[in-house]
């Protein structure tokens, strides 16, 4: 295929892959990317408007959109190795590593990216998240402020909120739950923790997302009523830091807390993630 033919075909494949990915057609999007990569292989070099790395990045984006952080990370890192000048690939790799709970590797990648691309808000936001996990609250807040200044629409400037303040809000929110539900919850402790610890995150495969807002632990009440199902200690855990990160003001914080609380209570009453999504509690 000559240069006059390959460029429009690559553009068509790129746009159709992005469109398929946005519609959740993951396999279709990946097929388009694979066709483009094979086409570039046969052509022997990048074209004026499209590069091999562009399509590998797009492969990563498709996997990311599908929630497959491992495959996304592998694609982004492949670009880093093949094209070290691609700062966007380094940032994407660092972000993916964070969500895969590989915090040291994420820190290294993002710190390097912050030197070469200090005007990217995503770098500072994720460095803020890493600092928060390390207990460096003042450093984290500086990074969040930097991210907000660079991209205020994408990165809210959170209001740091104490555990005691969140506990007080939760107490008030429980008053808004119908009496019959509150009665059913009387033996279910609601516990506040700063963030999920690394050991918990790595118990599952793939790891639990470190940004999880809450967690229901134990046996749902529907299963506990069956004599065939062994019961286990039951509790609802709310992760204070992850929740207040979403709230730029008191009203938003209360709203996020209430949604999270109802979500975990829903799990206690036997609702699945799909059930909760249908009810707008995802």
Looking at residue 274, its pLDDT comes to: 67
Specify the pLDDT at position 267. 80
Q: Which H helix or E strand runs over 61?
A: helix 52-65
Structure confidence at residue 198 as a pLDDT band (50, 70, 90): very high
Q: What is the pLDDT of residues 45-84, one digit of tens each?
A: 999 999 999 999 999 999 999 999 999 999 999 999 999 9
pLDDT tops 80 at residue 230: no
| Domains (range + CATH), the chain | 3-150 (1.25.40.10), 163-278 (3.30.2010.20)
- The H or E element containing residue 193 is strand 190-193
CB count, 10 Å around CB of 22?
A: 11
Determine contact, residues 241/192, Cβ cutoff 8 Å.
no
Residue 276: predicted pLDDT: 55
Q: Is the pLDDT of residue 281 over 60?
A: no
- Which residues 6+ apart lie within 8 Å of 176 measured at CB? 258
Q: Express each pLDDT in 159-175 by its tens digit.
A: 888 889 988 988 888 88
Given a cut of 80, whether residue 188 has pLDDT beyond it is: yes
Q: Which pLDDT band, with edges at 50, 70 and 90, does 4 fall under?
A: confident
pTM of the shown model: 0.89
> Is residue 132 a contact partner of residue 155, using CB atoms and an 8 Å limit?
no
Does residue 30 have a pLDDT over 50? yes
| Helices and strands in the chain, H and E counts | 15, 3
| pLDDT score for 177 | 79
* Residue 275 in this model has a pLDDT that exceeds 70: no
Helices (H), 211-249: 221-224, 240-244
Residue 67 region by backbone torsions, left for phi larger than 0, else alpha for psi between -120 and 50, else beta: left
- Compute CA distances 57 → 34, 268, 270, whole Å: 12, 40, 39
pLDDT 10s digits, 126-153: 999 999 999 999 999 999 999 999 999 9
């Amino acid at each position: 295929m000559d240069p006059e033919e390959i460029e429009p075909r690559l553009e068509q494949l790129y746009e159709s892959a992005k469109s398929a990915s946005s519609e959740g057609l993951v396999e279709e999007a990946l097929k388009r990317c694979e066709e483009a990569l094979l086409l570039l292989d046969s052509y022997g070099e990048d074209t004026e408007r499209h590069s091999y790395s562009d399509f590998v990045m797009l492969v990563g984006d498709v996997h990311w959109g599908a929630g497959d952080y491992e495959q996304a990370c592998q694609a982004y890192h492949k670009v880093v190795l093949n094209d070290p000048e691609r700062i966007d690939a380094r940032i994407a790799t660092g972000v993916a590593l964070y969500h895969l709970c590989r915090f040291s590797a994420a820190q290294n990648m993002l710190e390097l990216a912050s030197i070469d691309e200090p005007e990217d808000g995503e770098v500072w936001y994720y460095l803020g998240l890493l600092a928060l996990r390390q207990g460096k609250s003042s450093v984290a807040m500086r990074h969040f402020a930097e991210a907000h200044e660079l991209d205020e629409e994408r990165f809210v400037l959170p209001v740091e909120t104490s555990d005691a303040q969140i506990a007080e809000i939760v107490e008030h929110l429980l008053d808004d739950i119908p009496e019959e539900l509150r009665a059913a919850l009387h033996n279910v402790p609601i516990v506040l923790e700063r963030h999920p610890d690394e050991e918990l995150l790595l118990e599952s495969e793939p790891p639990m997302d470190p940004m999880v807002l809450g967690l229901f632990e134990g046996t749902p009440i529907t299963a506990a009523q069956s004599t065939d199902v062994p019961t286990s200690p039951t509790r609802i855990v709310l992760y204070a830091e992850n929740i207040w990160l979403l709230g730029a003001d008191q009203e938003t914080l209360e709203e996020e807390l209430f949604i999270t609380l109802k979500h975990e209570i829903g799990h206690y009453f036997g609702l699945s993630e799909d059930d909760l999504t249908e009810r707008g509690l995802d």
